[in-house]
């Protein structure tokens, strides 16, 4: 029997097995030598074969699938009219056109700081640093990524960038010539109107990340179950489609969810939670949803190619262990491993695939 690496010890599963086996054992006398010996006449019995199968123990949580937080962008220049605007759902890449004013395209570059001054040779600061970084990532050399100084290198890179955008090659970045934002952007709504006059600071559009993410609030006392790289299964709102995913981040700060929030069902409104972020391995499966509640199954324990029997085949032994009744052999002590709601991994003397064991009939 080969087993995969276990993620978390399955103490929870064994306690469930013990409870079920205890109730079943009340109808059977342990360690009888004949399959039916000591069985009350009212007990309904049948047999089942030991099988090889994959078992997985999971825990379910409620989460929300979305494109993440929304950011609002504003116009950065003055012009007679908006001559082009993106449509909702469009994805704008780094150095792509955010909007047009009087026929002039306004590109968007990667950066968190808005452009608040004209950038020219001799300046320094974090805004210069993000310009150098954005130009270097786009391949406009000789800009030096991370450099906070606007040197001849920056100036040369800016001229090359201006040439690519059919702008006057001044080597200086004027106010309104570009916009800094987290890119790529997925446009969720457009507030501006084609043909309307353009003024700096007027609402332009709302945008999100183009990547669908699942946010899962997990009670702090269960946060140990999650770590970056952990595999999960997301059940989409249709309750049928299951999408594999991977935990990409786990917050280090615990918060109290709002009492009326659906996600408070994971631990109750007064339970502190940490938020975990899940990336879907196949985002196309969830492309129909922009925001929706989902269920997330976290794998606690997993085994492959295991010998398993129905949980109702277990007998509770006086010493705290378990046994199964093998047809024509009697009771055989077994060690239990991973369990699901219906099956449990077992190992014991003479227990092989195909062995017939006694189970309680449903």
Closest-CA residue to 153 (of 137, 132, 139, 174):
132
Q: What is the pLDDT of residue 361?
A: 73
Q: What is the pLDDT of residue 300?
A: 82
CA distance 210 to 135: 22
CA distance 334 to 345: 9
3-state helix, strand, coil in the chain (%, to 5): 15, 40, 45
- 8 A C-beta contact, residue 145 and residue 130: no
* Matching residue, tokens 């030096």: 144
CA dihedral 154, 155, 156, 162 (to 10 degrees): 110
Q: What is the pLDDT of residue 260?
A: 53
Q: Per residue of the chain (362 residues), what is the pLDDT tens digit?
A: 443 333 333 333 444 455 444 444 434 433 333 433 334 444 578 999 999 999 988 899 999 999 989 999 999 999 999 999 999 999 999 999 999 999 999 999 999 999 999 999 999 999 999 999 999 999 999 999 999 999 999 999 999 999 999 999 999 999 999 999 999 999 999 999 999 999 999 999 999 999 999 999 999 988 888 889 988 999 999 999 999 999 999 998 888 876 555 555 676 556 899 999 999 999 999 989 988 999 999 888 889 999 999 999 999 999 999 999 999 999 999 999 999 889 999 999 999 999 999 998 76
- 8 A C-beta contact, residue 309 and residue 324: yes
The pTM assigned to this predicted structure is 0.67
- 8 A C-beta contact, residue 337 and residue 36: no
Angle at Cα 20 formed by Cα 18 and Cα 25, nearest 5°?
Answer: 90
CA distance 96 to 38: 79
Three-state SS annotation for 290-342: CEEEEEEEEEEEEEEEEEEEEHHHEEECCCCCEEEEECCCEEEEEEEEEECCC
Closest-CA residue to 234 (of 247, 245, 225):
245
What letter would DSSP give residue 117?
Answer: S
Angle at Cα 236 formed by Cα 305 and Cα 69, nearest 5°?
Answer: 120
Question: Cβ-count burial of 51 within 10 angstroms (0-12 exposed, 13-18 middle, 19+ buried)?
Answer: middle
CA distance 311 to 302: 17
User: What are the beta bridge partners of residue 201?
Assistant: none
Please give the structure tokens belonging to residue 181.
Answer: 């934002």
Angle at Cα 183 formed by Cα 100 and Cα 286, nearest 5°?
Answer: 110
User: What are the beta bridge partners of residue 298?
Assistant: 59, 232
End-to-end Cα distance, the chain: 29
* Matching residue, tokens 């006057």: 168
CA distance 146 to 178: 19
CA distance 267 to 253: 16
CA distance 359 to 204: 67
CA dihedral 280, 281, 284, 285 (to 10 degrees): -70
How far from chain centre, in Å, is Cα 323? 40
Phi/psi at 36 (5° precision): -100, 0
């Amino acid at each position: 029997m080969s087993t995969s690496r276990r993620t978390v010890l399955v103490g929870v599963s064994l306690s469930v097995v013990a409870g079920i086996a205890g109730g079943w054992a009340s109808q059977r006398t342990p360690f009888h030598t004949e399959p039916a010996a000591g069985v009350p006449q009212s007990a309904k019995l049948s047999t089942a074969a030991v099988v090889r199968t994959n078992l997985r123990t999971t825990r379910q949580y409620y989460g929300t699938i979305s494109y993440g937080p929304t950011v609002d962008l504003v116009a950065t220049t003055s012009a007679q009219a908006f001559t082009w605007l993106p449509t909702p759902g469009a994805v704008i890449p780094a150095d792509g056109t955010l909007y047009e004013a009087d026929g002039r395209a306004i590109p968007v570059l990667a950066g968190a700081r808005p452009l608040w001054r004209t950038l020219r040779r001799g300046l320094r600061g974090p805004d210069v640093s993000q310009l150098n970084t954005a130009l270097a990532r786009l391949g406009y050399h000789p800009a030096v990524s991370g450099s906070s100084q606007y040197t001849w290198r920056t100036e040369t890179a800016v001229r090359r960038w201006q040439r690519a955008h059919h702008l006057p090659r001044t080597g200086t970045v004027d106010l309104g010539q570009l916009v800094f934002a987290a890119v790529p952007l997925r446009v969720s709504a457009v507030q501006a109107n084609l043909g309307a006059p353009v003024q700096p600071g007027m609402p332009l559009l709302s945008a999100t990340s183009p990547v669908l993410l699942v946010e899962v609030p997990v009670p702090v006392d269960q946060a140990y179950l999650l770590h970056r790289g952990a595999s999960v299964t997301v059940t989409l709102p249709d309750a049928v489609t299951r999408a594999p995913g991977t935990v990409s981040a786990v917050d280090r700060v615990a918060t109290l969810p709002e009492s009326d929030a659906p996600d408070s069902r994971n631990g109750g409104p007064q339970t502190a939670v940490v938020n975990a972020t899940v990336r879907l391995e196949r985002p196309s499966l969830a492309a129909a949803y922009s925001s929706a509640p989902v269920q997330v199954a976290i794998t606690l324990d997993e085994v492959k190619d295991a010998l398993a029997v129905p949980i109702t085949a277990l007998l509770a032994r006086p010493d705290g262990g378990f046994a199964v009744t093998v047809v024509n052999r009697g009771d055989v002590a077994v060690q239990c491993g991973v369990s699901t709601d219906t099956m449990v991994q077992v190992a014991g003397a003479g227990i092989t695939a195909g062995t017939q064991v006694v189970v309680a009939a449903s």
